[in-house]
Amino acid sequence: MTFESLGLSPELLRAVAEQGYTEPTPIQAQAIPVILAGQDVQAAAQTGTGKTAGFTLPILHRLQPLANTSVSPAKHPIRCLVLTPTRELAAQVETSVKTYGKYLPLRSTVIYGGVNIAPQIKALQGGVEIVVATPGRLLDHVQQRTINLSQVEILVLDEADRMLDMGFIPDIRRIVALLPAQRQNLLFSATFSDDIKKLSGGILRVPVTIEVARRNATADLVRQVVYPVHKDRKRELLTQLIRTLPITQAIVFTRTKHGANRLCGQLERDGINAVAIHSDKTQSHRTKSLSDFKEGQVNILVATDIAARGLDVDQMPYVVNFELPHVPEDYIHRIGRTGRAGTPGNALSLVAPDESRELADIEKLIKSKIEAVRVDGFDSPRAEAAARPPRSAPADRATPRSPRTAHPQPEPDETPVRRTPVDAPRVSASGAHFSRPPVASLGKKTREVPALLGGLVKKAP
């Protein structure tokens, strides 16, 4: 299939060709015709599938007849509103709108908190057809009457599951109530839980459902590995992996802001070029860190889950879970940062004995065991035990999992204390000598693993 065959305008096809895309990704092939036909869509598509172009291109096509070069703001009412959970994702989506719409006189702007509101007001006053926004700041504009949503024809909820997790649903309902009843609605979500279905049921009308990835599937091209290691030696192992694989570019996830700062400082002391990105950092710092990272001036981005949401870095080769997330779905989001749009990626998880429960929950969610690789000098039997808890463990958990938050979830300053059994019996894991470049795997085990660690790696028992 080609982009031409989807019926997109020559201006859009030109912009797409400039990006070097030769054919639509599956989500694009399925979503674009439906959106062009004006239908509502609910799509289960994780990040990295090309979903942004999947909705941006047909939206631009639909708005193209209304595009004009008039200087009158009245000729540029907001016709499309895209809501995203984070500032970074909002910025990236709006960049995509500008990239794909570069040959069309349609205007767009991005609205998010943490920055001066005045330039946003100015942009809105000048007239824009497409607004990409995070819910909180958008409502600030509503309250200040600096935004008029009465002519919105298309609503997009991007990463709806994240918005749900972050407690944005009441805000979203408030915003939806301000929109004209007659409109097209598009909802994108990495995972497709019953809560998301409930949300979409209240907003979408007779939507076409598109599912390009298995429900809760991990990214297709991501090779996942667990490194059993004691908590106190994680930083040392990470430095070793960065140097020996080598890892030239990676996002390293920590659970807490303090953890991110601490790890970043330690890596820098080890001579590794790293920056931390989390919600305590100013927006300008976050933007600069991200652009330094994208340009290769910084090798390691140490990030919390919230800060990393929506980050799109082309061809990110590695994602490292310095700590496993408490919420297993976050694992899918994290590793979705690598293996994007056809490029193979690696997701490495450093797993300490006290993370056995998290690992079991993740493996249950992805319905597959993650390959364990032991590194000489780091593979204490205790750590190995943690990496392989008994398969029955999740059912009879000793401590209840922290509930999903109903309100915007702040990034924790410190890791909450959780008691988890560490004395689970050892279960053998598959392992292999690394001899070839990374091999894609989803669910099924691959026996060929990359020439990553050289002599460092030995076969797991």
Q: What residue ranges bind ligand AMP (CB under 6 A)?
A: 21, 24-25, 28, 47-53, 312, 314, 340-341
CB 207 within 8 A of CB 39: yes
Nearest to 76 by CA among 125, 143, 137, 119: 125
Taking the least distance from each CB to ligand AMP, the nearer of 61 and 76 is 61
CB atoms within 10 A of CB 125: 11
CB 67 within 8 A of CB 11: no
Nearest to 253 by CA among 200, 202, 311: 311
In sequence order, what E strands does 322-387 have? 345-351, 371-372, 374-375
The nearest distance, CB 383 to ligand AMP, in angstroms, is 34
Taking the least distance from each CB to ligand AMP, the nearer of 43 and 128 is 43
Give the burial class of 130: count Cβ atoms within 10 A of its Cβ; 0-12 exposed, 13-18 middle, 19 or more buried: buried
Pairing status of strand 274-277 against strand 300-303? parallel
Taking the least distance from each CB to ligand AMP, the nearer of 22 and 116 is 22
The nearest distance, CB 45 to ligand AMP, in angstroms, is 7
As a whole number of angstroms, the distance between CA 240 and CA 194 comes to 42
Taking the least distance from each CB to ligand AMP, the nearer of 94 and 371 is 94
The nearest distance, CB 84 to ligand AMP, in angstroms, is 11
CB atoms within 10 A of CB 380: 16
The nearest distance, CB 421 to ligand AMP, in angstroms, is 38
Tell me the Cα Rg of the chain: 23
Identify the helix (H) or strand (E) that includes residue 436: strand 434-436
CA of 270: how far to CAs of 149, 237, 243, 263, in Å?
51, 12, 10, 10
Taking the least distance from each CB to ligand AMP, the nearer of 286 and 340 is 340
| Lookup: tokens for 55 | 């909705």
The nearest distance, CB 11 to ligand AMP, in angstroms, is 17
What backbone phi and psi angles, to 5 degrees, belong to 457? -100, 140
The nearest distance, CB 172 to ligand AMP, in angstroms, is 20
Interior CA angle at 351 toward 347 and 357, to 5°? 110
Taking the least distance from each CB to ligand AMP, the nearer of 194 and 314 is 314
Taking the least distance from each CB to ligand AMP, the nearer of 188 and 331 is 188
Nearest to 320 by CA among 381, 230, 252, 398: 252
Taking the least distance from each CB to ligand AMP, the nearer of 55 and 253 is 55
The nearest distance, CB 93 to ligand AMP, in angstroms, is 8
Taking the least distance from each CB to ligand AMP, the nearer of 154 and 456 is 154
The nearest distance, CB 307 to ligand AMP, in angstroms, is 17
The nearest distance, CB 340 to ligand AMP, in angstroms, is 5
Interior CA angle at 163 toward 215 and 298, to 5°? 90
Taking the least distance from each CB to ligand AMP, the nearer of 15 and 242 is 15
DSSP H helix total and E strand total for the chain: 16, 18
The nearest distance, CB 302 to ligand AMP, in angstroms, is 21
